Amino acid sequence: MTSRLSHIHRFDAGTDKRPLLLLHGTGGDEHDLIDLGRAVAPGAPLLSPRGQVREGAANRFFRRLAEGVFDIADLKARTQALADFTAEARAAYGLEPPVALGFSNGANIAAALLLLRPEALSGAILLRATLPFEPDTLPDLAGKRVLLLSGRADPLTPVATSQRLAALLAQAGADVRHELLQAGHGLVQQDLALARQWWAE
């Protein structure tokens, strides 16, 4: 089912209670991560919004000024809007707080949700995420589990920035597992295997 609320999105009800919030990468849409979500978490309700920013013909969750240079004001505003949408969707569909499963641009806004609106998520699987911004103060992330999967040869996300993100999330109290994979920016089979294992634990 694809419908609006405040974001165009797709919702698949599933059979379990724990939902996934699927956040696509640049150029994706609300359908892109459905198969990945089903593979990682069979039976989970899947909530998949479409990013509201257009970069040429590509959907994104927030603006960037250049490759790797984010429009921080827009990022923070879009993060607040996405958190509000998540609350709307939880009320509409009767959902528990979701675990975010984000790739690239979607992983970056998922990280921003943890830093700005941590109540929106119960945890996160961040695939090729960078630190979206340096927070002024750290949130309380106690009780939240985060899996961060980075590519050693990722040309878009330097390892140092993903390590900084992992360190900040851990400092804020999250239970963080950070794995460096023999991969670039694209996903590999090990991403799926580790995400499935993490979800099942």
Hey, which residues are catalytic here? Answer: 104, 154, 185
Of 82, 101, 87, the residue nearest 146 (C-alpha) = 101
State which H helix or E strand residue 114 sits in. Answer: helix 105-116
Of 175, 179, 186, the residue nearest 163 (C-alpha) = 179
Pairing of strands 58-60, 53-55: antiparallel
Of 186, 198, 146, 196, the residue nearest 168 (C-alpha) = 146
